[in-house]
Amino acid sequence: KNIYDYDLDQDNAKIVCITDGLTFFGRTIVERLLLHGYTVRVIVNTPDDLERVRAMKDETAKFHGRIEEVSAKLTETESLVDAFDGCYGVFHTSGFIDPSGVSGYSKYMVEIEAKVSENVMNACTMTQSVRRCLMTSSLLACLWQNSTQLGRRSVIDHSSWSDESLCKDKKLWYALGKLKAEKIAWKIAEDKGFKLSTICAALVTSLNILHHNPTPTIAYLKGGEEMYGNGVLATVDVNTLAKVHVKVYEEMNKASFGRYVCFDKVITGEYEAVELANETSISLERIRGDKYDFCEKDLTKPFCLSNRRLSSLMSTTYPISCLES
């Protein structure tokens, strides 16, 4: 029997699994899903994880949905199949960090990230109940391109892919990990005819973000000076990003799936750079180096960002700003 002929009742359609619901961002998605009435399975690995899920249950008891904990290992496909069984969809939000690395993300983590992405996608295609997967990728998987090869200002959007060689040359391991993880997910989805959407998210921000999410923030900003100079250093509020995930997932029921660039602010000048430095507690020099640019939009920058596709999808419910070319 073809897995896509599997019969699901209405209740199954509201059951999803999240590969990491315990990070700052993961918790925000879980809460958003609960508000929409979903049953959310949160993967746990340790007794500490279990205690954190139980605390989440108490904190979200008033929400419409409910939380379930499920034990699984992201490094074992069969373990993930068991965790996903009975779920209609999967939110692959997990990422990997190496606190001992200079930027919080070492070269070693690249292959781990790609392998887990492969495991998650294979488990999705092997689980009879699972119909779709929404993966959290990164804007870094789109924007690292060689501007010297371009004859004009180039738009970075959902069709753009970072240059793998460039990421290696600049030792941008976090960008490379996200790039390879997303590419392998798309390869499996295309080979298996499985429904996948990916959200290429900008730097996630919120109040006291460095306290909640220190290592990914530092890892993302490796190369921040160059991103700022190229006009592609962008951010997205954590609550906006969570809303985007739920909206895109629900639109997949209407055959609207694919790749989406997600940001709500581009750091185009000194004022925004100072604001980001204050918000992240990261030095201004690390964000914009010695570039003192007071222009709102510097048309001499080699790239500009566009989230036109996502903005169109979200406009009926959650209008978000869009920097168009």
Catalytic residue among 73, 171, 178, 192: 178
Q: How far apart are CA 219 and CA 105, in angstroms?
A: 6
Contact status, residue 265 vs residue 304, Cβ threshold 8 Å = no
Q: DSSP per residue over 148-193, as a string? A: GG-SS-EEE-TT----HHHHHHTT-HHHHHHHHHHHHHHHHHHHHT
Q: How far apart are CA 114 and CA 120, in angstroms?
A: 10
Amino acid at 19: T
Q: How far apart are CA 165 and CA 11, in angstroms?
A: 46
Q: Is 178 a catalytic residue?
A: yes
Q: DSSP per residue over 70-101, as a string? A: EE--TT-HHHHHHHHTT-SEEEE------TTS
Question: Strand, helix or coil at 135?
Answer: strand
Contact status, residue 17 vs residue 79, Cβ threshold 8 Å = no
What are residue 68's phi and psi, to 5 degrees?
Answer: -125, 140
Which residues have a catalytic role annotated? 178
